[in-house]
Each structure stands twice: as C-alpha cells, then as structure tokens.
Amino acid sequence: MNVFSHPDFDDHERVIFGCDPQSGLKAIIAIHNTNLGPALGGCRMWPYSSDEEAVRDVLRLSRGMTYKSALANLPLGGGKAVIIGNPRQHKTADMMRAMGRLIESAGGRYITAEDSGTSVPDLKVMAEETRYVAGIKDKIGVDGLQRSGDPSPSTAYGVFIGLKSAVQYRLGRSDLAGLKVAIQGVGNVGFRLAKQLKDAGAELWVTDIYDDMVQRCVHELGATAVAADEIYSLPVDVFAPCALGSVLNDHSIAQLKATVVAGAANNQLELPIHGEQLRQRGILYAPDYAINSGGIIDVCYEHLGNQNAGALNQHIESIHDTLTEIFARADREQRSTQVVADQVAKERFSNPEGRLSNLTHQVA
C-alpha cells in the first residue's frame, strides 16, 4: 500500500503509523494542513476491516478537518487519528497511554480530541503521556450545564442549527413541528440531535449498529426503529447521517425520498460526484464539515482558554449563516453545495497570510 499514490492522499504534510505490541495499539495519525495553525482533530477507534480502510478513513477525515476549521473561521489546521480495534472489546488504559506517546511524538503539530469510540476519560489517560490533548476540561456547555470536556453537545447543537437552516432554505419553513426526520446513528451526537428535534416537534425514525442505542430513542423519544437498509428509502423530509462516512453513494442516493440531507457524520459523500447527483435530484445537501463544526469550535475555544459560553454559542449559531450563504451561492452558480463549500474553505487555508492573527482575535 503506497500512501503517496493513494486516491485520498491530498498533499498531507505528515502521516504517522504507530504500533505498540505490548498494549496492542495499531494507530495512524494524519496531519493534512497546518497553514492556519496546529492540526486539531479527534481520535477515532473503530474495528476497521482492513488496514486499507483505516488509511482511507484517516486521510479523508484529516482533510475534512482542515476544511472544517477554515470554514468555521478557526486558527487551526486539520488532522485526525484512528486506532484499529473494537472500542467495546479491545480498549485498555495501556493502549490509551501508548496512543498518548504516539501523539506526543508529533511534537505539537497534531492535537487530539474525542471522536467515535473514544471518550473524555480515554483522553485523560492519553494526557498522562502527552500535552497535546483538548476537550477534557470542565466548562459550561451550550445547554448552560457544567460538563467535562465532551464536545458532542456542541456538535449536536450545531447540526440542529444547520438542519433548521437547510429546512428553512429548501422547505420554506422556520418551525420543525411535524417534520419527518430519519437519523442514521444515534450515539453521543445522534441522540442529542434526536432529542433536540423531538423537543422541536419533529417525528423521528432511527437506526444504529447498536440496538441498545436504538431502543433508548424508542423509549425516551418515541422514535420509530427501522432496519439499517430501510433508513434511506423512508418517506421523510430530512435524512440525517450521524454515523460513519461514505453513506451517500450511487446505491443510497437512488433510494432517497428526503429533500434535505443534514447530519453529523464526516465524509458523507463516497465520491465528489455524489454531491452533484444530490443536486440533480433536487436534494439539498448540507456539507458535512460545515454543519458539524460545533464540536471543533467548542474544542478550539477550550484550547485557546476562552470560557465565554455566550461567545461559543454565538460562534456555533453562525453555522446557520455559513450554510445559507453556501446554499444561495450553489444555486446562483448551478453547482453542488459541496463544491462551493470546498472552494470557500480552500481559499481560506491556502492563503493564510493576514488571517492567522485575525482568526485568533475572533475566537479569543
């Protein structure tokens, strides 16, 4: 496997492979771009079916973080880490400490945070071995409650704001009462999004690889459980992918009956052409790294020592304006929303001169 000729290699600055036989750690850190600041991105643990799948995921995710931070006006670059293994079976404290040492070896060019399969307690163990961990400090969250590091409430809130923006733009409605939403993946972010949608009066259909998470939504939110292969074809208004990536592809797009796609998952499009396929079908797509940036905004504020909860909320709520701008520009130019979002983000991180101090000032 040649990384440099890999189809998802995008001039990444550094790709680090780490192995610790004693703890069982097999991990990859990908640093995509640090023009605007150190690469900050979550550490994911997942039972990848192959090394190739893990490499593809970390390359795509790290690139997405560069675009996400640039579009969210943050003084950060893009990076990501993946640990190969089942977090419910293979994770140990020794493995997390070994991961911390691997992160430390990057010398501060990569800062890690929580992601699928890892938690704040895991990050605190990593922090025993590295200085470069974010999202572990106690703070006031977007809901006004004290919490310990976990950025998922901010991610979910940002997706909720973005979903409302997409619904308003495409369906012309400012309220969500009676809105039909199919949610794929109801983990930390997906469940919080589901609760906010339920509180706003939406009707929910949910699926997840873990049945206990589905049943929680059924019992606590009155959601309807559906099989994994049924989630795409439901007659709903919004499809919200909140699990892993590449779920928008030839097969799934052909089944969609929703007119809006707005969810928390990273890298939702299997290929760039799928953004155009959605446009051709009249489906409004909220680009993933634009709508799900609430978590990285949260972690950035913590990293820079800004404890102003009001400023954090306002920054997250700016996702509404960012998406509305993308939607309108895509319509004017008759291009997919993904292409437009990519162009805006690339303009920002490709020309960092004069932006770094301004971005830091905005956040601090």
> Domains in the chain, please, with CATH?
14-63+76-136 (3.40.50.10860), 147-292+321-347 (3.40.50.720)
- The predicted structure's pLDDT at residue 352: 62
Which tens digits make up the pLDDT trace of 294-347? 999 998 998 888 878 899 999 999 999 999 999 999 999 999 999 999 999 998
Lowest-pLDDT range of 31-35, 202-206, 224-228, 296-300:
296-300
Q: Give the contacts of 50 (CB within 8 A, at least 6 positions apart).
A: none
Percentage of the chain with pLDDT > 70? 93
DSSP string covering 20-79 = ETTTTEEEEEEEEE-SSSSEEEEEEEE--SSHHHHHHHHHHHHHHHHHHHHHTT-S-EEE
- The predicted structure's pLDDT at residue 80: 97
Residue 200 has pLDDT above 60, yes or no: yes
The whole-number average pLDDT for the span 6-25 is 96
- The predicted structure's pLDDT at residue 2: 82
**Which residue from 182, 167, 40 is spatially nearest to 114, judged by alpha carbons?**
40
- The predicted structure's pLDDT at residue 44: 96
Q: 357 burial class (0-12, 13-18, 19+ CB within 10 angstroms)?
A: exposed
Q: Residue 202 has which token pair?
A: 């939406």
Residue 249 has pLDDT above 50, yes or no: yes
- The predicted structure's pLDDT at residue 146: 60
- Predicted confidence band of residue 31 (pLDDT cuts 50, 70, 90): very high
- The predicted structure's pLDDT at residue 320: 97
Give residue 208's Cα distance to chain centre. Answer: 17
- Predicted confidence band of residue 293 (pLDDT cuts 50, 70, 90): very high
- The predicted structure's pLDDT at residue 356: 47
Which tens digits make up the pLDDT trace of 140-192? 666 666 666 678 899 999 999 999 999 999 999 999 999 999 999 999 999 99
State the helix-helix crossing angle for 152-171 and 188-199, rounded to 10 degrees. Answer: 50
Residue 46 has pLDDT above 80, yes or no: yes
What are the binding residues?
185-190
**Rounded to whole angstroms, how far apart are CA atoms 136 and 276?**
39
Map 209-228 to HEC letters.
CCHHHHHHHHHHHCCEECCH
**Rounded to whole angstroms, how far apart are CA atoms 209 and 332?**
39
Q: Which residue has the higher pLDDT, 265 or 149?
A: 265
Catalytic residue numbers, as ranges: 80
- The predicted structure's pLDDT at residue 357: 44
Residue 286 has pLDDT above 50, yes or no: yes
Q: Which residue has the higher pLDDT, 203 or 266?
A: 203
The whole-number average pLDDT for the span 194-218 is 97
Lowest-pLDDT range of 87-101, 144-158, 206-220, 261-275:
144-158
- The predicted structure's pLDDT at residue 359: 45
Percentages of the chain per state (helix, strand, coil), in multiples of 5? 45, 20, 35
Phi first, then psi, for residue 322 (nearest 5°) are -60, -45
Lowest-pLDDT range of 11-15, 55-59, 140-144:
140-144
- The predicted structure's pLDDT at residue 290: 96
Residue 240 has pLDDT above 70, yes or no: yes
- The predicted structure's pLDDT at residue 86: 96
What are the binding residues for NAD(+)?
185-190
Percentage of the chain with pLDDT > 90? 83
- The predicted structure's pLDDT at residue 318: 96
